[in-house]
Amino acid sequence: MKFFAVIPDETKELINNLPNNSGVGAANLTTILNWIYIAGGIVAVIVIVYAGSKYILSQGQPEKMKQASQIIAYAIIGLVVVVLAAAITAFVSGIIGGSTQ
């Protein structure tokens, strides 16, 4: 069930027949992007753990607590961006007939 757009078969065929000079096919590109998303998620979680420990070790100092809170907020925003990028990639890949793995 397609909600937003229906791409005609001629367009899909045109996209699939584009020359591929880089040697990276659609499935390989999807795999590479998935690894990048996984790495981004792991980095975000590590930063959240780091900031949490920094918050705990701040010993009630308002400046250090504020800094740790900002780091946590930015890490969460980064994690949301990674998840949205993965969702958009899967959506677009599904529309043009690529692999969503």
Q: For residue range 21-71, what is the model confidence (pLDDT) as tens digits?
A: 444 566 677 788 889 999 999 999 999 999 999 999 999 899 999 999 999
Q: How far apart are CA 76 and CA 48, in angstroms?
A: 8
Q: How far apart are CA 82 and CA 39, in angstroms?
A: 10
The mean pLDDT value of the chain amounts to: 81
pTM strictly above 0.75: no
In sequence order, what DSSP letters do the residues of the chain get, joined into one string? --SS----HHHHHHHHTS---SS--HHHHHHHHHHHHHHHHHHHHHHHHHHHHHHHTTTT-HHHHHHHHHHHHHHHHHHHHHHHHHHHHHHHHHHTT----
pLDDT digits (tens, 9 = 90+) for 5-28: 566 666 666 666 665 544 456 667
Please, are residues 70 and 58 in contact by the beta-carbon 8 Å criterion?
no
* Residue ranges per structural domain of the chain: 41-101
